[in-house]
Structure 1
Amino acid sequence: MAIIRPPGHHAMEHKACGFCYFNNVAIAAKYALKHYGLNRILIVDWDVHHGQATQYAFYDDPRVLYFSIHLYEHGAFWPELRESNFDYVGEGSGKGFNINVPLNK
């Protein structure tokens, strides 16, 4: 278990975003998958903003369950992405391994 701050959850693989330069949790999870042969990782992202880059990194990977609870305000809260909503659940073999809990007033 690691409690990491800042999470870096907005940083894409090749692009900084939202004041995040490195996606610490995604880097650590990918390292653990590759070097330790893990086949199940849970990432709980509890932050005011949705960690879209972490979601993107594992959206089709059934080895990583990404769970995010964040403000959404019906898409009006940054990062203002439709894919931050509850119905984005993963794709391909990762379908069902992405859980968003968007909070609205």
Structure 2
Amino acid sequence: MPATQSKHDVFQAIADPTRRSLLRLLADKEMSIASITECFPITRTAVNKHLQVLSDAGLVKRHKIGRETRYKMRPEPLVEVTEWISYFEKYWDEKLDALMQYVESDDE
């Protein structure tokens, strides 16, 4: 496996609601594992496993300060998700246009 390729698919990583919540939490600030665990009704081990999946997908970065490990979101891998979703926007736009035409023609 090339060094630049992540171990986990970004889509797989964000599929879990807890991991999506972790990303939201870490979007604006760097936090320790202890601080993160306080925000969730799951064990520290479970939080750590979720963070590992996010880290393997390149969605969080971690670094040690003394004995403490701190985490922060890395948004760059989410570009893949954005590009995938934007491909389908044309279908949503077509459906919304058709709905608007239907609603407007029904008024007359």
Q: Same fold per TM (> 0.5)?
A: no
Q: By percentage of residues, which structure has more helix?
A: 2
Normalising by structure 1, we get a TM-score of 0.28
TM-score using structure 2 length: 0.27
Higher relative contact order, chain-length normalized (CA < 8 Å, sep 6+) = 2
Q: Give the number of the structure whose alpha-carbon radius of gyration is greater.
A: 2
Of Structure 1 and Structure 2, the greater strand share is in 1
